[in-house]
Each structure stands twice: as structure tokens, then as C-alpha cells.
Structure 1
Amino acid sequence: MNQHPRPFRLILGSSSRSRQQLLKELGYEFSILKPGIDEEAIRHPEAEQLVRLLGNAKADALVKMLKNEKGSSRTTAEPLLLLTGDQVVVHQGRILEKPQDPAEARQFIASYANAPAITVGSIVVSNLSTGKRYEAIDRAEVYFHPIPESVVERLIAEGAVFACSGGLMVEHPLLTKFVHHIVGTVDSVMGLNKDLTRALIERALAD
């Protein structure tokens, strides 16, 4: 259940399994809507600005979608919150998004032993009842031991890495033992800092 004294509805604008898992761990009930935006059409050379633009573009698309739904005028007293965001990996100054093919996934994962993988993510909470929006940028650094080729190939064969920025899956059993240390939190690396998310939801409900 949503553990908050004031009832509210929550929509997660993401199909990411890790974000869904982390939101469940926070104790929130939520429904899922996919924004369906063309992420490739939104570009920026700075990682922080890129994820901020993407997180807000997803929110804008879903707000429009909900307004266009038949009978979508909301008269309920319960606040309706929308949670969106995005994440990229920065490695040696280069922004990495989801790998496009096995060769790129192989390159991304194998290179993490050379320099830390820095995750940069945005969290955007929109209160559709008030029209206000609350957002934050979160960063973490992952340092790896050398990752054997056999492990990289098994990850690629499974295919889940193609849904993750930079092919980065620190929570995967095949990769955890090769993580040297993390500056930040595992949930940040997985795409949703739980403390920041809870704080933004609390702010959205308090205002």
C-alpha cells in the first residue's frame, strides 16, 4: 500500500523492471504507462541536462495522453502523481545509452575495468492535481574488476543488457562479484534512488 497519511494515486512512466522493483520496495502501489516518445530525437552533450530533458519529455507526453483519455477529467480528492525519469552512463567522458547491438554491448561492458561507470539519472515527479513538478538529478560511480569475456558473452546471450543504459546491470548475479566498489547507492545505479524518490513524492503531496 502507499504508506502515506494522505491517499494518492501513482503512475510510473517507465517499463523498466528495475524501477518497478525499487518502487515496490518503497511500499508504493502504482500503475504503469509507457510514454512512447522518440528518445533519439532529444539530444544534449551534457549528461545531466540530457536526462533532465528526457525525464520531462516523458512527463509531458503522459500528461497529454491522460488529458486526451476519454473521461479523464479528475474530480477525485486524491492527488494523482506521475513518476518519470531517465538514466545514462558516462564512461571516460562519453555518454552511453542502451547498446544497439552485441558488439556495442561487448565494448561497453568490457571497458568498465578501465575506468568507473558513472550513472547520471533524473527523477521527475509531476502532481497532475496541482500542475506542479519536482525533479532531482542523481549520480553514482561503479568501479569494476576486469570482467571475463565469458561473463560478457553470457550477459549478451541473455539479452537483458540491451534494456539498460551502457549495458550496466550491477544487480545481475553474473556481475556482482566483479564490482570493486560503488560511490553512491545500488538503487541509484539501478535507475531510481529510493531516498530521493520518496522525498520528491513527499514534497509533491505536501505542497
Structure 2
Amino acid sequence: MTPQNLDTYQLILASKSPRRQQLLKELGLHFQVLVSDVEEYFPPELGMTAIPEYLAELKATAVRKRLPDDSLVIAADTIVWKDNEVLGKPANKDEAVAMLKHLSGSQHQVITGVNMQSAEKKYSFHAVTEVWFDELNDSEIKYYIDRFKPYDKAGGYGIQEWIGYVGVKKIEGSFFNVMGLPVHKVYQFLKKF
């Protein structure tokens, strides 16, 4: 499959994330961005991998309803999981500091759930990446938050930014998944369409 094989669909990315847009562009795909306005709520009984899949499907379904049959919607949601809890996007500087202190010197998981929907098919899947952070001191955390303002990022950090260069000592799994989209898996599932 090449990107031209998808020309039968009007490809829609249901995400305002600049990182997801960049990754799809680098796959050579032509797409429009339509953001869903759904509240990102999930049932509390959902587990680690079910949460981002549930949220991705919520977003994709909301956008898909507004489109013609020749549209293919891709939606994604990324969470950081540590000590059996979700670290979402920090609401303010204090939350960002607390998250990075919590991640410092330890391992966590980054899970991205993806949902793809056309008029005929629907696929949900996820990718998990293990991330190990080195110890971060207060001045490093403050420097990063002041300069990069990671309030739109799960766990309060972007691996492709300064904190990833100095703080991430090891990952197992997809680097792009930590950025917000497991592009290899996305490509594999696009072939099914």
C-alpha cells in the first residue's frame, strides 16, 4: 500500500494535536483536521489499555457522524500510566511539576489508543511503550516547564522536547507512540481499508 491507495477515502484526523498532524503528514497522507468536542470522560472501571481506546472511539464516532460515507476518520488518545493511575494533561504549573517529580527516576507506560472508522468498517487498537526516566532535579523540571509549557501533553512532558533528551534514559516500544501516534500500527491498519 502507498498513500495514493487511500485516495478513495476523504481522510479525516479527529485531533488538534500538532504532533499527530506532523506524523500523519510524514506518512505522506493527505487529510483534513476536524476536532471533536466530546468531553474526555471514561468509566472508572476501565483498565490501562481500554481507557485510551475508549476515548479514541468517542472522538472518532462524534466526528464520523458529521461526514459523508466516503470519509475515513482517525482518532487517537494518549495516556501516561504509572502506579495504576492515569496521568493526564496537567492543568497548571503545579500539576506539571508534581507529574514530573512522580515520573522522575522511575518507569511508566505510555499508551495510545487509536480508532479508525469508515461507513463500513471500524478498528480499535493500542500501543504500549515503556519509558524510563532518569532522576530529574527541581531546576531541570522548572526549566523544562517554563520553556516548553507542556500543558497539552499527557504526563506533562513531550519526549521529542528537551526533557526527552536529558531525562529519558531508555524506552521499549514505539518512540512515535510516546509522541502521540503509533504510526507503524496506523499504517498497518490503514492497509485493511
User: What TM-score does the superposition give when structure 2 sets the normalisation length?
Assistant: 0.90
Q: Which residue of 2 aligns with 1:192?
A: 181
- Structure 2 residue 33 is matched with structure 1 residue 48: no
CA-CA distance at 1:24 after TM superposition: 1.2
Q: Which residue of 2 aligns with 1:15?
A: 16
- Which of 111, 121, 135 is the equivalent residue of 2:112? 121
Distance 2:84 2:151 in 1: 21
- Percent identity of the aligned residues? 25
The runs of at least 4 consecutive aligned structure 1 residues that moved more than 3 Å come to none
CA-CA distance at 1:57 after TM superposition: 0.7
- In the alignment, structure 2 segments of 5+ residues that lack a partner are none
Distance 1:105 1:43 in 2: 24
Q: Is the CA contact 1:109–1:152 (under 8 Å) kept in the aligned structure 2?
A: yes
Q: Which residue of 1 aligns with 2:38?
A: 37
Q: Is the CA contact 1:92–1:115 (under 8 Å) kept in the aligned structure 2?
A: no
- In the alignment, structure 1 segments of 5+ residues that lack a partner are 67-72
Whichever residue aligns with residue 142 of structure 2, its letter is: E
Q: How does 1:108-147 map to 2 (within 5 A)?
A: 108-128=99-119, 130=120, 132-147=121-136
Q: Which residue of 2 aligns with 1:59?
A: 60
User: What TM-score does the superposition give when structure 1 sets the normalisation length?
Assistant: 0.85
Q: Is the CA contact 1:91–1:115 (under 8 Å) kept in the aligned structure 2?
A: no
Distance 1:10 1:56 in 2: 16
Say which one has the larger Rg: 1
- Which of 139, 143, 168 is the equivalent residue of 1:179? 168
- Structure 2 residue 27 is matched with structure 1 residue 26: yes
Distance 1:6 1:26 in 2: 12
CA-CA distance at 1:44 after TM superposition: 3.0
CA-CA distance at 1:162 after TM superposition: 0.7
Whichever residue aligns with residue 87 of structure 1, its letter is: T
Distance 2:147 2:83 in 1: 26
- Which of 168, 178, 183 is the equivalent residue of 2:157? 168
Distance 2:110 2:103 in 1: 12
CA-CA distance at 1:87 after TM superposition: 1.1
Q: Which residue of 1 aligns with 2:97?
A: 106
Q: Is the CA contact 2:36–2:59 (under 8 Å) kept in the aligned structure 1?
A: yes
Seen in structure 2, the aligned counterparts of structure 1 residues 148 and 36 have a Cα distance that, compared at 3 Å, is same
Report the 3-state secondary structure (helix = DSSP H, G, I; strand = E; otherwise coil) of the residue aligned with 1:28: coil
Seen in structure 2, the aligned counterparts of structure 1 residues 28 and 144 have a Cα distance that, compared at 3 Å, is same
CA-CA distance at 1:168 after TM superposition: 2.4
- Which of 69, 78, 81 is the equivalent residue of 1:87? 78
CA-CA distance at 1:183 after TM superposition: 0.7
Q: Over the residues paired in the alignment, what is the CA RMSD in angstroms?
A: 1.7
Distance 1:89 1:185 in 2: 14
Larger deviation: 147-156 or 83-92? Answer: 147-156
Report the 3-state secondary structure (helix = DSSP H, G, I; strand = E; otherwise coil) of the residue aligned with 1:187: helix
Q: Is the CA contact 2:96–2:145 (under 8 Å) kept in the aligned structure 1?
A: yes
Q: What is the total number of aligned residue pairs between the two structures?
A: 190
Report the 3-state secondary structure (helix = DSSP H, G, I; strand = E; otherwise coil) of the residue aligned with 1:163: coil
